[in-house]
Amino acid sequence: MDPDFICELFAAFGPVRLRQMFFGVGIFADGLMFGYAVGGVIYPKTDDLIVADFAAEQSGPFLYPTKGGMRTLMSYWRLPERLYDDPEELALWARRSLDAALRAAAGPRSAKPKRVKPPAARRAPGIPGRPRK
């Protein structure tokens, strides 16, 4: 998809930055990725608060092929076709997608336990990993 076309499409929303990612282009505003363009299609960021609106527009999630078959990425859904011709309405949807990206960025991080290092008192001075006598 032509970068100038994407920037023009989002003009009513405000300035966007594009960054080459994988096989497409990430669409960024305020430092957050809120959309992905690939294969001539734009996929805005979604979450539980707005995904029903995309579903009501007969939109679908982003699909991509893997060695094991097709994979679905539920956090990005196809931009409804009618929005390509309605820049003001697209700006509203883009704002909601940016809000979804903000919520995702503020959400809980990975629940991985932090690795605990042994106390310094157990190591010999100057020789990492060697216990003191």
Question: Model confidence at 125, in pLDDT bands (50, 70, 90)?
Answer: low
Which residue, among 77, 11, 89, 83, has the nearest Cα to 47 in the 3D structure?
Answer: 77
Dihedral of alpha carbons 92, 95, 101, 103, sign:
negative
Residue type, 89: E
The string of pLDDT tens digits covering residues 67-104 is: 999 988 899 999 999 999 999 999 999 999 999 999 99
| Residue linked to tokens 């100038």 | 4
d(CA 35, CA 20): 12
Going along the chain from its start, the domains and CATH numbers come out as 3-106 (3.30.1460.30)
Average pLDDT over the chain, rounded to an integer: 87
| CA 37 to chain CA centroid, nearest Å | 11
Residues 41/26, Cβ–Cβ less than 8 Å: no
pLDDT at 20: 95
The amino acid sitting at 105 is: A
What integer pLDDT is reported at residue 114 of this predicted model? 57
Residue 129 — pLDDT band, cuts 50, 70, 90?
low
